[in-house]
Amino acid sequence: MRVLLVEDDDPIALSLTQGLLRHGFEVDRVGTGAAALAAAPADVVLLDLGLPDVDGLDVCRELRARTDVPIIVITARADEVDTVAGLEVGADDYVAKPFGVREVIARTRAVLRRTRREQPDETAPEAQRLGSVALDRRARRVHLADEEIALTPKEFDLLALLAESPGAVFTREHLIEAVWDEQWFGSTRTLDVHVSALRRKFGAAITVSTVRGVGFRLERP
C-alpha cells in the first residue's frame, strides 16, 4: 500500500515515514499543497492542514473532487470547527498534533479496511427508488430527478445504509460501526456532520429524522 504524506515539518515527516516503512507501507512525501495535487495516485493520503503554500482544507477539497482515495487530515488546530470543516470537505478521519506514530498507523489501517469493505457488490440491485431519488449502489451514484447529487464516500455509505430499511431507526453506534469502523477513533460528531450534509443536499426530497437519544431514521417517501 502506498501512502502520500503531505507534511512540511521535516522531523514529523521523517518520524511518520520511518514508522510507515517499518509497517510495510510505501511512502511518497511532499511538503506543499501544490506538490500534493501533482503527485501520483496513492492508496491513502496523510494530509497536514498547515501547509506553507495552500490551505490544507483546499487541498483536501480538490483531492476529494478528483478521487475517492481515503484522506486522513493531520492538524495542530484545536478548534473543533476546523476538524469538522475537514470532514465536510471529504476527509475520512483526522489526527490532532501531538500524536503517536502508532495512532497514525492504526487509523491508516482502519480507513484502508473500510475502503476494501466498501467495494461495490456486483450482485446488488442496480437502483433503489426513494421517491424522486434513485440510489444506485453498484455505480455508487445518486440522482434527484434528472440531476446527479455529488456525495462524498461516507455520505453515500450513510444514505445507502439508512435506505436499507426506510422507516427503521438506526442507533448512532450501529451507524458509526457500519459506515466508519468498529474501531473508529474519532468523535461521533462526525455522524452529525454527515447527516446534516445529506439534509442540505437533498432538501425536501428525503427526510432523515433525529430520534433523540437513539439515532436516525430515513422516513419512507
Mean pLDDT over 82-99 rounds to: 80
Q: Would you state the pLDDT for residue 77? A: 58
Estimate the share of the chain in helix, then strand, then coil, as percent rounded to the nearest 5.
Answer: 40, 20, 35
Q: In what order do the strands lie in the sheet with 208-211?
A: 169-171, 215-218, 208-211
Summarised one tens digit per residue, pLDDT across range 95-109 is: 887 778 878 888 888
Higher pLDDT, 94 or 149: 149
pTM of the predicted protein model:
0.57
| pLDDT of 79 higher than 80 | no
Work out the number of other CB atoms within 10 angstroms of the CB of residue 189: 12
What confidence category does residue 162 fall into, taking pLDDT thresholds of 50, 70 and 90? Answer: very high
The answer to whether residues 56 and 33 touch, using CB atoms and an 8 Å cutoff, is yes
| pLDDT of 188 higher than 70 | no
Domains and CATH numbers, the chain: 2-117 (3.40.50.2300), 128-218 (1.10.10.10)
* Mean pLDDT rounded to a whole number for the chain: 85
User: Beta partners for 216?
Assistant: 170, 210
- Which residue type is seen at 81? V
